[in-house]
Amino acid sequence: MTSFVCNIPLEEMQRGRGKVRDANITLAHGSGGKAMRDLIQDVILGAFSNPLLAPLEDQAVVSLNELASHGNRLAFTTDSFVVHPLFFPGGDIGKLAINGTVNDLAMSGARPLYLSCGLVLEEGLPVETLRRVTMSMRAAADLVGVLVVTGDTKVVERGSADKLFINTAGIGVVPVGVNISASRAQVGDKVIVNGYLGDHGCAILLARNELALETDVETDCQPLSDLVQTMLAVCPDIHCLRDATRGGLATVLNEFAQSSQVAIRIEETALPLREEVRGACEILGLDPLYLANEGKLVAVVPADFAEPVVEAMRAHPAGTEAAIIGEIVAAPAGIVVLNTGFGGGRIVDLLVGEQLPRIC
């Protein structure tokens, strides 16, 4: 992957920052010439400037000693973000991209350190929109303490993309002794979530004006890395951990049940759901168990640690509504069952199709 520099000589890039003169992205901004140089210097470096990005090479060079000081294993992830609309209640595609990648690293117990950022820009995108998104990314990265250290921009013709796509990759370091895996759920373990489910999916619906409702539900988009470290301080042997993004809680639980060959029983009355989200789902015939989240994790921990972990989570800003929602049982292996409020039970299967398109 080429860097943000796009092969413009270093001395030219460092000869004072140019200003983007166009109000909208043009094909010239992807040509490698002056227009691209000004875009990178003004918008990209204006948001992400840091010592590792400053050399403007085709790659970021990081210290192995720095990585090793945090643990003995490297976590590496990548994700692409194509949400519509770009801005929605409580967030935007930039905040989503940073937190989504940070959270994927955090689910291994890793401390996130460095990110890359690939931008696919559609001809005609307002430059001010790009500036807002990159500054939002910077704010989200600063909050976590990660650096965007390398990246790439591509401009495609009008109609070839939907305004702006973002790809982010990230690396972090897993501390010694942490061993989190979807295959480690054991009979007797408890299932925990860190708060209200389905907020992100509902916020996107509201932003698309698909609901004739007046509500202040916002995306739950937030970083979870510090919350995970808080949980590990109480229970170093967390068995399973996953953020419930596309496919929601139901998908994560099915992944745990199938990977560990156990059954999972969850209690409907224990699920933290806002009334606004519950009502929206009833109106549209959606199941909140499958709604996307961008700041919610699902953890499986030994039963003896469940209450202390929840207590610690509730003392953290990202886990104030944490709750134990179920437990791991032996059979039927690979199946998730919801105990309903009426005393019955139903199988919670993997989602068939897509409830909501372009949501993250």
Lowest mean pLDDT among 94-108, 130-144, 212-226, 322-336: 212-226
The residue with greater pLDDT, 212 or 179, is 179
Task: Please tell me the distance from the alpha carbon of residue 132 to that of residue 48, in angstroms, as a whole number.
Answer: 13
Cβ distance 313 to 230 under 8 Å? yes
CA-angle at 329, arms to 262 and 103, nearest 5°:
65
Give mean pLDDT, residues 181-187: 98
Whether 212 and 168 map to the same domain: the answer is no
Total of domains in the chain: 2
Residue type for position 242: R
Task: Please tell me the distance from the alpha carbon of residue 227 to that of residue 316, in angstroms, as a whole number.
Answer: 7
The reported pLDDT for the residue numbered 119 is 97
Is residue 43 classed exposed, middle or buried when 0-12, 13-18 and 19+ CB atoms within 10 A define those classes?
Answer: buried
The reported pLDDT for the residue numbered 215 is 75
Res. 12: pLDDT tops 60: no
**Which CATH number fits the domain that encloses residue 262?**
3.90.650.10
Final residue belonging to a domain, choices 144, 174, 204: 174
Print the domain residue range for 297.
190-347
Q: What are the tens digits of pLDDT across the range 43-65? A: 999 999 999 998 878 899 999 99
User: In terms of residues, how long is the chain?
Assistant: 360
Omega before 85 within 30 of 0, i.e. cis: yes
The residue with greater pLDDT, 202 or 173, is 173
In a domain, 98, yes or no: yes
The reported pLDDT for the residue numbered 27 is 94
The reported pLDDT for the residue numbered 306 is 98
Lowest mean pLDDT among 7-11, 74-78, 249-253, 274-278: 7-11
Q: Report the DSSP pairing between strands 147-156 and 111-122.
A: parallel
Helix (H/G/I), strand (E/B), else coil: 79: strand
The reported pLDDT for the residue numbered 351 is 82
Percent of the chain with pLDDT over 70: 92
Whether 137 and 213 map to the same domain: the answer is no
DSSP string, 113-159: EEEEEEEEEETT-BHHHHHHHHHHHHHHHHHHT-EEEEEEEEEE-TT
Final residue belonging to a domain, choices 114, 148, 174: 174
The two tokens of residue 205 are: 């619906």
Residue type for position 125: L
Task: Please tell me the distance from the alpha carbon of residue 172 to that of residue 150, in angstroms, as a whole number.
Answer: 15
**Which CATH number fits the domain that encloses residue 84?**
3.30.1330.10
Give mean pLDDT, residues 107-113: 98
Greatest extent of the chain over all pairs of C-alpha atoms, in Å: 71
